[in-house]
Structure 1
Amino acid sequence: MAAAMELRCWGGDWGLPSVHTESLIVLAYTKFSGAEVTVSPIDWTWKTLTATVPELLCGNSAVQEPAQILNFLRKQRFNADYELTAREGADTMAYIALLEEKLRPALLHTFWVDAENYANLTRPWFASRSPFPLNFLVPSCQANTALSRILLTKGEAPLHRITEVEGKIYSDAKECLNLLSYRLGTANYFFGNSPTSLDAFVFGFVAPLHKASLPSSPLQSHLRQLDNLTRFCDSILAVYFSSDHPCPPPPVQETMDANLQKLTQLVNKESNLIEKMDDNLRSSPQHKPHRPDPKPSLSTAKSSTPA
């Protein structure tokens, strides 16, 4: 019997099973390959700062990074790519490299560096999913990591500042989306009638951009002009995730208030129960104090005297 598998990842929102690109990739691939995994969101735990997600736990094995997790699942005979030809396998690797090089920097900038999006969407979401005091640390750490990654990969001379990099990364990202849209065409999936690992990667990269309510995003506006890519995301959500109904738990403060309310109700209930028991004890015959019978009144004595 195969060992049970647990997938740790960020939780869902915006109509998605996860708002995290890497987590979405793995979640989609498990659906495509038929792998049964128990999904454990790291929301509201200390792992929001320390964990590298997604992370797949199986027996004594712990695997991180989407590519490594997908390889591990294939070794467990959960393979969504078994029908691909050698040429299609090479194309898969090429398109995944294109996503990493061209689209990822723009997504990092859109969600973590753009001031308006970060202040109104990204920071509040991740802060509300992290316990105090991590709600102050997690968003800023993620934002710093995103900025460093952009500058490291795209900040070569003469592009030294993020303002100089911004135009280049968005131009590359739009080109990448156009290529994906052209490659997909009118098909449901990129290779044949069944989704593969490439579909999982494209879904993971594109779906958050499609579904998030971003206050400011020229890249999202561009994506919405590519109808086949947005239909691609909606189709995968409808076919493979419609029964999941991702519904995030209430924010931390609401949970605390609800727990306090339940505790108060429990205390009141116990107090009422104790009061009722006391009343019953007082009213029971064995606990009534003995009182002598009152002396008969004059009228009673007269009425009882025989004629």
Structure 2
Amino acid sequence: MATSMELRCWGGDWGLPSVHAESLVVLAYCKFSGANVTVSPIDWTWRTLTVTTPELVCGDSTVTEPADILNFLRKQRFNADYELTARQGADTMAYVALVEEKLRPALLHTFWVDAENYANLTRPWFASRSPFPLNFLVPSRHANNALCRILLSKVESPLYSITEVEGKLYSDAKECLNLLSHRLGGDHYFFGNSPSSLDAFVFGFMAPLHKAALPSCPLQSHLRQLANLTGFIDNILAVYFSGSQPGSPVPVQETVDANLQKLTQLVNKESNLIEKMDDNLRSSPQLKPRRPEPKPCLANEGSSTPA
């Protein structure tokens, strides 16, 4: 009997199943690979204050960090990269490293360090989902952790403050988005007709940036100028997170525009209904044969003519 798996992650908002980038990565990969997991949004209590999210619990095993969770799912035979070639596997690692190095720090700054975004969006969201006094502690703690992470990863001599690294931060992030847009091109996914772990990582990190109502974000404006990337996000949300058939991905036709996926599904249903009605009419006994042609009458007249 298969062991049940529970995924503990941040809750959703803004039209997303989770507002947390790393949680979105794992949620998307579970959908892509067909892994049946029970999603449990974490509650901000004293017990879960120091919890690492996302967190996958399977039997006696507890796995954290997206890369480790994806490797664990592959060992359980839930592998969205099964059909990738060696070259595509190498490209996956390279682009995931690019996202981690270039895009993640800018996202941390956008949501947790930018004063306007933090005061008007990030802090109120987390405060409203935390009991007193955690509604004061949780947001500030995450903001401090984000700032420390940015400074540790990005500060290089002669840059010593967050103000000095902001320009470099967003320049790298925009370059990363441009490279991803160029690699995706006009395709629905990065490798072929099926999504892989690279699609999960790119979706997870870009979806909050695309969907959040940020008061101040030049990086969001840049992303929305890259139509193929925003279409990529909207397509995955429509196909895998629409709620119509959870856990059962709907195949995407190459000729269908990603932004019209939902409408296309409705049209297909109507077309199938019309075809069934047409088949029923064709097989209906109400379709009587034609009247006999006059040829038999002429034959009878000829036979009655005197010799």
TM-score by length of 1: 0.79
Structure 2 stretches lacking a partner, 5+ long: 246-307
2:198 aligned residue: 198
1:182 aligned residue: 182
Q: Cα offset for 1:44?
A: 4.2
Q: Cα offset for 1:128?
A: 1.2
* Structure 2 residue identity aligned to 1:66: P
2:84 aligned residue: 84
1:250 aligned residue: none
Structure 1 stretches lacking a partner, 5+ long: 246-307
Alpha-carbon displacement from aligned partner over 1:83-119 (angstroms, at most 9, x marks no partner): 0000000000000000011001100000000000000
Distance 1:240 1:228 in 2: 18
The answer (yes or no) to whether the contact 1:46–1:130 under 8 Å persists in 2 is: no
Structure 1 stretches of 4+ moved >6 Å: none
2:98 aligned residue: 98
1:227 aligned residue: 227
Structure showing greater Rg: 1
Q: Cα offset for 1:131?
A: 1.8
Matched, 1:141 2:141: yes
How many residues end up aligned between the 2 structures?
Answer: 246
1:58 aligned residue: 58
2:282 aligned residue: none
Distance 2:195 2:47 in 1: 31
More moved, 157-166 vs 45-54: 45-54
Q: Cα offset for 1:156?
A: 1.2
Distance 1:76 1:104 in 2: 28
Q: Cα offset for 1:45?
A: 3.4
Identical residues among aligned pairs (%): 83
Two-structure CA RMSD over aligned residues (Å): 1.4
Distance 1:13 1:47, change over 3 A: farther
Matched, 1:237 2:241: no
Distance 1:38 1:70 in 2: 16
Distance 2:9 2:23 in 1: 6
Distance 2:45 2:75 in 1: 31
Alpha-carbon displacement from aligned partner over 1:223-257 (angstroms, at most 9, x marks no partner): 01000000000000000000079xxxxxxxxxxxx
Matched, 1:21 2:21: yes
* Structure 2 residue identity aligned to 1:12: G
Distance 2:178 2:81 in 1: 24
Distance 2:45 2:233 in 1: 29
SS of structure 2 residue aligned to 1:49? coil
* Structure 1 residue identity aligned to 2:75: K
Distance 2:37 2:109 in 1: 31
* Structure 1 residue identity aligned to 2:156: E
